A and B are shown apart, each in its own frame.
Chain A
């Protein structure tokens, strides 16, 4: 008799068998490490992209983020200085200095080695994905929660993401990024965090092409600053005024 009573209880408890962990709070925590979900901010970004037997391609970018909107300005290399990308929802615009031209670009177009425009311009999982806790695994020698994220819209860069979060600290450890076809596009390793005035933030992100050996990109975030950024800054017309 007891087993008929216990079985439904076990089945009921199974989905929360990883303790009283709230998926939302885990995603909130990860987004906090990747920026300031609740307020606009600036960050500088060094991108070092490596391909086998090729010189490292280096970029220095100034990134301004407000919610789902962001502006990425190229500070280096000198031959690309002054270029800027605006991401406004699914709209992405590219500004070429001197010509004053602002052209629409594809969100999937790569401008920085392994990093797509979306990788540089997006810092928020919560708005773009719904998450499900699927288990615990040890990755990168770290006991982690494994979350499966599904894009809330077909317009999001990656259709699904498997995300591993450090069970003890809540920091992201690794994520696999898949296309809608199920093809694995990228593997990201969250390698280092730095202390800022408002807590720890992502400092070093490693993006690896899983299908090409030796093809990877380091993204080094620095100088996080919460700033007041008006909505109208994130307009196509503003790209000529940066």
Chain B
């Protein structure tokens, strides 16, 4: 856990308040400014510039030509209740992907076919109509056009759709239907989001924002909130199964402590806690820890047993994993600077991930299978080689392959010209491979915003990000909100 200590030290360093992006003096000299000593009794930095005539210097928006009187009419809000419950956006995105040549999991580029260009157009509708005084229907629907290289398709999805009832005092709430649960405070990883399917790593796939059919009860007493739910479970092994989860949280200013429990059909229970709060006005801290006795993944070698003979079946992971406890630990914090930029740091230890011993075996397997398929000898184990490499590639796509990660995100905040820049780095601490992502966004007016992003994967050829099928991904998107 030495990384955790180093991470805490970074947070504490930031928390000293010695870091500031403000220039030491940002006073501007204006010839017509007035100097008001009474405004500055404590010796402030900079020069006071305040107009003497506040009526003339700061025009009242209600007296401007473009002011809409309807904005301040009494009826304005009530008349628009229906419209207020609608949120509609149209989004179009182009993605360009640069494929890696000589990818070890894809010998001769013949085993797997990776797309290079993707275009999506999407209508995203969130509608939350009030059906009665205490009854609301909440929904989010997507109509998506997707073109990948030469193929295209149109699909409609109901991401969420549930009825919500609350009592008058809002001490009880019942939700019934398809709903997304967010129990985690994490940015890059979310151990406290225990429901299956779990999102291991952030992705652009809109379907990962889909909810799960459930019945949820929530009760609030003073500073305690208790949530319990029963939800549908669909996995490779279970069809129409059930999963149950409960969360109990205690608020004690400025902290929130939550205990979480999850039980899915035919799986070991998961239990854990989360804590988040403010260390200072500028610094947030969050910790999440989840424990279970069942590993949430198999090795690629083991997976290929299902598809034929495995090259690595002699390695008995099942036995090795029995009687062990596996946990995910997340330590994160965010510091907001005076110029409204903010820096987020997170450290993840996931003992479900492949350890060094396992990774060495997987690496040897990748090299061995790659050579076997490249030489194209009539190997009777060809199907096993292919199965192993495909499963390895699939595991890499899911993310959090290894055990220790560091996430860093700097967000410039929105400038006065409505530009925003975000820089993300994810570092795999076990193999030193890295993911870099830069996002530049701009709001052109109240309705239209655009975004350009570049993601680059770097690392040796047998590292997590070095085994990514792409060297980099670029994207451009435009979003129109109504």
Question: Residues on A close to B: CB < 8 A?
Answer: 44, 46, 48, 50-51, 54, 56-58, 60, 62, 75-79, 81-82, 89-91, 97-110, 140, 155, 176, 178, 181-184, 187, 189, 191, 204, 206, 208, 210-214, 216, 218, 220, 222-223, 230, 232-233, 235-238, 241
CB pair B61–A241 under 8 Å, yes or no, is no
Min distance, Cβ B171 to any Cβ of chain A, angstroms: 5
Task: Give the docked Cα–Cα distance between A208 and B39 (Å).
Answer: 12
Q: Could you mark each residue 331-366 of chain B with 1 if its beta carbon is under 8 Å from any beta carbon of chain A, else 0?
A: 000001000101000000000000000000000000
Chain A residues lying within 8 Å of B6, measured Cβ to Cβ, are none
CB pair A213–B170 under 8 Å, yes or no, is no
Chain B residues lying within 8 Å of A191, measured Cβ to Cβ, are 54, 60
Min distance, Cβ A1 to any Cβ of chain B, angstroms: 41
Chain A residues lying within 8 Å of B447, measured Cβ to Cβ, are 77-79
A-B contact pairs, 26 of them (CB 8 A): A44-B76, A44-B77, A56-B61, A79-B481, A82-B87, A91-B251, A97-B87, A97-B126, A104-B185, A104-B278, A106-B282, A182-B41, A184-B42, A191-B60, A206-B54, A206-B58, A208-B51, A210-B39, A211-B47, A218-B60, A220-B61, A222-B74, A223-B76, A230-B170, A230-B171, A236-B256
Chain B residues lying within 8 Å of A183, measured Cβ to Cβ, are 42, 44-45
| Contacts known (A62-B77, A213-B33); A79 close to B479, Cβ less than 8 A | yes
Interface residues of B in 301-350 (CB under 8 A from A): 336, 340, 342
Min distance, Cβ B20 to any Cβ of chain A, angstroms: 12
Task: Give the docked Cα–Cα distance between A182 and B43 (Å).
Answer: 7
CB pair B72–A46 under 8 Å, yes or no, is yes
Question: Residues on B close to A: CB < 8 A?
Answer: 26-28, 30, 33, 39-51, 54, 57-58, 60-62, 71-72, 74, 76-77, 84, 87, 124, 126, 136, 140, 164, 166, 168-171, 173, 180-182, 185, 209, 218, 220, 225, 227, 251, 253-254, 256, 276-278, 281-284, 286, 336, 340, 342, 416-418, 443, 445-449, 479, 481-482
* Residue with the greatest number of chain B CB neighbours at <10 A, chosen from A140, A233, A235: A235
CB pair A104–B276 under 8 Å, yes or no, is yes
Beyond the given A75-B77, A106-B282, could you list 13 further A-B residue pairs with CB under 8 A, ordered by the A residue number? Answer: A46-B61, A46-B71, A48-B61, A77-B445, A79-B447, A82-B87, A91-B254, A104-B185, A184-B44, A211-B46, A222-B72, A232-B170, A237-B227
| Contacts known (A90-B253, A109-B336); A210 close to B50, Cβ less than 8 A | yes
CB pair B166–A241 under 8 Å, yes or no, is yes
Cβ-defined partner of B44 (8 Å) among A106, A182, A223, A238: A182
Min distance, Cβ A123 to any Cβ of chain B, angstroms: 18
CB pair B49–A212 under 8 Å, yes or no, is yes
What is the chain A residue whose CB lies nearest that of B41? A182
Task: Give the docked Cα–Cα distance between A44 and B227 (Å).
Answer: 32
What is the chain A residue whose CB lies nearest that of B75? A223
CB pair A75–B281 under 8 Å, yes or no, is no
CB pair A220–B446 under 8 Å, yes or no, is no
Task: Give the docked Cα–Cα distance between A181 and B41 (Å).
Answer: 11
Cβ-defined partner of A98 (8 Å) among B72, B209, B276: B209
What is the chain A residue whose CB lies nearest that of B61? A48
Nearest first, the 10 closest Cβ-Cβ pairs linking A and B are A182-B42, A77-B446, A232-B170, A78-B481, A106-B336, A48-B61, A213-B49, A79-B481, A183-B44, A51-B416
What is the chain B residue whose CB lies nearest that of A211? B46
Task: Give the docked Cα–Cα distance between A232 and B222 (Å).
Answer: 8
CB pair B169–A230 under 8 Å, yes or no, is yes
CB pair A233–B170 under 8 Å, yes or no, is yes
Task: Give the docked Cα–Cα distance between A100 and B126 (Å).
Answer: 12
Min distance, Cβ B74 to any Cβ of chain A, angstroms: 5
CB pair B50–A235 under 8 Å, yes or no, is no
What is the chain A residue whose CB lies nearest that of B225? A237
CB pair B253–A91 under 8 Å, yes or no, is yes
Chain A residues lying within 8 Å of B180, measured Cβ to Cβ, are 100
Task: Give the docked Cα–Cα distance between A239 and B62 (Å).
Answer: 31
CB pair B449–A79 under 8 Å, yes or no, is yes
* Residue with the greatest number of chain B CB neighbours at <10 A, chosen from A81, A103, A140, A216: A81
| Contacts known (A60-B71, A98-B140, A237-B218); A79 close to B170, Cβ less than 8 A | no
Chain A residues lying within 8 Å of B286, measured Cβ to Cβ, are 104
Min distance, Cβ B447 to any Cβ of chain A, angstroms: 5
Chain B residues lying within 8 Å of A233, measured Cβ to Cβ, are 170
CB pair A189–B253 under 8 Å, yes or no, is no
Task: Give the docked Cα–Cα distance between A178 and B140 (Å).
Answer: 44
What is the chain A residue whose CB lies nearest that of B443? A79
Cβ-defined partner of A189 (8 Å) among B54, B209, B448: B54
Task: Give the docked Cα–Cα distance between A139 and B170 (Å).
Answer: 46
CB pair A184–B39 under 8 Å, yes or no, is yes
CB pair A54–B126 under 8 Å, yes or no, is no
| Contacts known (A99-B209, A218-B61); A210 close to B182, Cβ less than 8 A | no
CB pair A218–B481 under 8 Å, yes or no, is no
Chain A residues lying within 8 Å of B54, measured Cβ to Cβ, are 140, 189, 191, 206, 208
| Contacts known (A91-B253, A210-B49, A218-B58); A100 close to B182, Cβ less than 8 A | yes
What is the chain B residue whose CB lies nearest that of A59? B446
Min distance, Cβ A20 to any Cβ of chain B, angstroms: 27
Chain B residues lying within 8 Å of A206, measured Cβ to Cβ, are 54, 58
Task: Give the docked Cα–Cα distance between A184 and B46 (Å).
Answer: 10
Task: Give the docked Cα–Cα distance between A122 and B417 (Å).
Answer: 27
Chain A residues lying within 8 Å of B71, measured Cβ to Cβ, are 46, 60
Chain B residues lying within 8 Å of A107, measured Cβ to Cβ, are 281
Min distance, Cβ B351 to any Cβ of chain A, angstroms: 26
Min distance, Cβ B372 to any Cβ of chain A, angstroms: 45
* Residue with the greatest number of chain A CB neighbours at <10 A, chosen from B136, B182, B286: B182
* Residue with the greatest number of chain A CB neighbours at <10 A, chosen from B77, B164, B256, B277: B77
Min distance, Cβ A150 to any Cβ of chain B, angstroms: 13
